[in-house]
Structure 1
Amino acid sequence: MNLIYAALALLMALVFTLAGVTRAGSWLIERRNPSVGGFADIDGARIHYVHIPAPENADLPPVVFSVRSYRTTLFGSWFRMLCSRSRDGGRLSWGTFNLHGASANLRDQMLPLRPLLEGRAEMVFFDRPGLGRSGRGSGNDTPEAQANTIAALMNNLGIKKAIIVGHSFGGAITTAFALQHADRTLGLVFVSPATHPWPGGATAWYYNLTTIPVVGRLFSETLSYPAGMLRMAAATACVFSPNQVPDGYVTEASIPLVLRPSAFRSNARDVAGLYRYVLGAAPHYRDIEVPTVIISGDRDKVVYATIHSTGLARDIPGAELVWVRNLGHKPDWIAPDLVAGAMEKAAGRDVDLHALARTVEARIAGDAHAGECADLKAPEAELAPT
């Protein structure tokens, strides 16, 4: 009996120690990664964002729309949309809205993309509900709800229409926004998106574990920080593989913010619910009628590019798919010039994205940082329903 009590006491001591380490680590993470923008209270959630207004002479998007890149049958509606820009108080009423993926925050896209478009376009980068410095609120557990949060933030900022740019998990929210707020969608850019049902619908075990009441909370409050810190370098290498992780990426992009217990739980709920959303949403992508560009690497080790990217190109009328050889899951960092070009293309400019892709390919042809990541290969038969 004494041995049982001793074991229980040891277990409790270990739990409290891990909880203390996690709390201390979370405090240090927040101290080292302060907010960099403003906040807006939206339906009970305190949303953190960075808003970069455009100057009066901003050149995106142009009024003239290039029909060569999209289906002629849709030209009329897209042209009217592009010409419907208006000015309120001397400022353009369109903008670009950038949605980061799972486990990330607004800095993940802002750092590589802002320098390329600042002064030319109105940009908004925001921490999705529960991640980065944003609060979760009650009811932001689905892509549809987060799309509504985006629309509300657009209202606060006076942006009538936007080009929505979504990376990875952000691609699912991009589709939700386009389906629910078509009148506010100027164009879409998908970067290594997750948008379609995939074989089995499985996700990493710790996401599902974290969503279990009590057990999940205990896991996030004790192990998310120490285990996450131990695995962060290897996991980041897999996300970028076969490309090199940029120097200082984890620190500069504030990636450890996701290891705080509340953020870890929010991220887990997002990922664990993704399959259910895409299963219902994918058959409706054919209803999207705005200029759409998809950028995908053929060496992506995070999502099934041949399911998600190929599926979008098939399902969204006139969508343009740009494949890049030897590119992993992070075009926003490895090929930011191509992503910026895709935003210009979605805005109506005549940009040769495939020529840009060949330039990127020449730049990364020698990358071979495989790490411990296995290649993802999905059978063609598992493509989403048409």
Structure 2
Amino acid sequence: MIFLHGLGSFSGEILSAFTTQPPAGRYIAVDRPGYGFSDPLPAAASGPDAQAGWLERVLDAMEIRTAVIVAHSIGAATALHFASQRPERVAGLLLLAPYGRPTRPAFVPLLRAAMLPLIGGPLRRLIRAAPSRFARAKLATVFYPNAVPARFRRFPFRHVTRSRALLAIGYELRGYNQAMMRLSLRLRQIQAPTVILAGNKDRIAQSERHAFWLASRLPKADLILLPRVGHMPHHAAPKVADRALRRLIGTTGITCGITCGSKQGLGGFRP
């Protein structure tokens, strides 16, 4: 099982929600390009379509032929592109609060300013010097209406606000819309068993705009909509997320061995 985190996060965050032993294989979480300890992709090739090529190189390096992919938020865009490009390598998809519909990026003036040639560098250094000022408000927004779990007090804010991580956010958003417009024409060809887990109070990837839209186009998708849950369903309802993953694995027939991978990336953030 390969875990792909969302925007502005890192591998340890998504993996920390899945704390029980996997029914088969291993849980492998990777930092997407530019985040955590991963090298960034070129600025002009940072969209989800290019990240699908990066994901294939990751699987090749780990000698993984096929995998169940668990992806949160905009990480779902990479998972969907990979399922479209390399269907034989995807045993199943668990999409958590997926951000997968062609959507013009939101106006985020601070992020846009942080990417400008002259003032971008100093501004990124300012954000990194005082990350808690920005992070607390961001966490509250991302988790709304759910409480931020206590373990997120140990969330490594300085790690995820490094300059290249902030640039990775901006470049990823720049490449998102065109890539997803092209993919929208091929979504019905994706045959991987898919479970979509979303909250009906999500203000970031609104379920009626993203989760329902994807469920209506992916031929083998089941949608689980959680009441009173926001953009972090895997943390707000971890038992539901765990059951959904186990059910998905059960439909794939995936077993241990080289198919399941040979390495595990746990990151540094654990519950």
Please state if 1:172 is matched with 2:77. yes
> Judging changes above 3 Å, is the alpha-carbon distance between structure 1 residues 302 and 228 closer, same or farther for their aligned structure 2 residues?
farther
Q: Please list, as runs of the form range in 1=range in 2, the aligned pairs for 1:316-331 lying within 5 A after superposition.
A: 316-331=218-233
- Distance between the aligned counterparts of 1:339 and 1:307, measured in 2? 21
For residue 220 of structure 1, the aligned residue among 114, 121, 124 is 124
Q: Name which of 127, 135, 138 aligns with 2:42.
A: 138
Whether the 8 Å CA contact 1:103–1:255 is kept in 2: the answer is: no
Secondary structure class of the residue paired with 2:94 = strand
User: Does structure 1 residue 103 correspond to structure 2 residue 14?
Assistant: no
Aligned residues: 251
Is 2:116 the partner of 1:241?
no
- Provide the rounded CA distance (Å) in 1 between the counterparts of 2:148 and 2:163: 26
How far apart in 1 are the matches of 2:181 and 2:109?
Answer: 20
Aligned partner of 1:332 in structure 2 is: 234
- 1:280-333 Cα offsets, whole Å, 9 max, x none, are 222211110110110000011222221110111011012101100000111111
Identity, in percent, stands at: 27
Match of 2:53 among 122, 143, 148: 148
1:277, distance to aligned residue in structure 2 (A): 2.2
Larger helix proportion, structure 1 or 2? Answer: 1
Shift of 1:229: 2.5
Equivalent position to 2:106, from 198, 202, 206: 202
- For the 8 Å contact 1:107–1:254, the answer to whether it is kept is no
User: Which one of the candidate residues 27, 40, 47 is aligned to 1:123?
Assistant: 27
Shift in Å, 1:250:
4.2
Aligned AA (1:330): M
Aligned Cα root-mean-square deviation (Å): 2.0
* Separation in 2, partners of 1:345, 1:248: 27
- Hey, what's the Cα distance between the residues in 1 that align with 2:113 and 2:150? 32
2:89 aligned residue: 184
Residue 219 and residue 273 in structure 1: after superposition, are their counterparts in 2 closer, same or farther (change >3 A)? farther
Whole-angstrom CA distance in 1 between matches of 2:127 and 2:134 = 10
> Which amino acid is 1:300 matched to?
D
In the TM superposition, what whole-angstrom CA distance separates every residue of 1:108-151 from its partner, at most 9, and x where no partner exists?
A: 112121x2234643221001111012121436512122221211
Preserved contact between residue 207 and residue 269 of structure 1 (Cα < 8 Å): no
TM-fit CA distance, 1:168: 0.5
Corresponding residue number in structure 2 for 1:372: none
SS of residue matched to 1:217: helix
Unaligned runs of 5+ in 1: 1-95, 351-386
**Structure-1 separation of matches of 2:21 and 2:196:** 19
Give secondary structure in 2 for the equivalent of 1:116: coil
Match of 1:276 in 2: 178
1:211 matched to 2:115? yes
Give the residue type in structure 1 aligned to 2:212.
T
CA distance, structure 1, for counterparts of residue 84 and residue 130 of structure 2: 38
Which residue number in structure 2 is paired with residue 267 of structure 1? 169
TM norm structure 2:
0.85
State how far apart, in whole Å, the 2-side matches of 1:330 and 1:238 are.
10
- Give ranges in structure 2 of 5+ residues lacking alignment: 253-271
| TM-score, with structure 1 as normaliser | 0.61
Structure number, greater radius of gyration? 1
Aligned to 1:164, what secondary structure does the other structure show?
strand
1: distance between equivalents of 2:157 and 2:71? 18
CA contact (8 A) 2:71 2:96 kept: yes
Task: Verify the 8 A CA contact 2:145 2:229 in the aligned structure 1.
Answer: yes
Q: Which has the higher contact order (CA 8 A, sep 6+)?
A: 2
Alpha-carbon distance between aligned partners in 2 of 1:273 and 1:228, rounded to the nearest angstrom: 26
Partner AA of 1:205 in structure 2: P
Counterpart of 1:9 in structure 2 is none
Residues 192 and 331 in structure 1, CA contact (< 8 A), matched pair in contact too = yes
Deviations 1:18-59 (A, max 9, x none): xxxxxxxxxxxxxxxxxxxxxxxxxxxxxxxxxxxxxxxxxx
Read off the aligned partner of 2:63 and give its amino acid letter: G
1:346 shift after superposition: 2.3
**CA distance in structure 2 between the aligned counterparts of 1:227 and 1:202, rounded to whole angstroms:** 24
Q: State the shift of 1:226 in Å.
A: 4.4
Q: Tell me the distance in 2 between the aligned counterparts of 1:190 and 1:258.
A: 22
The verdict on how the C-alpha distance between 1:197 and 1:144 changes in structure 2, with shifts beyond 3 A counting, is: closer
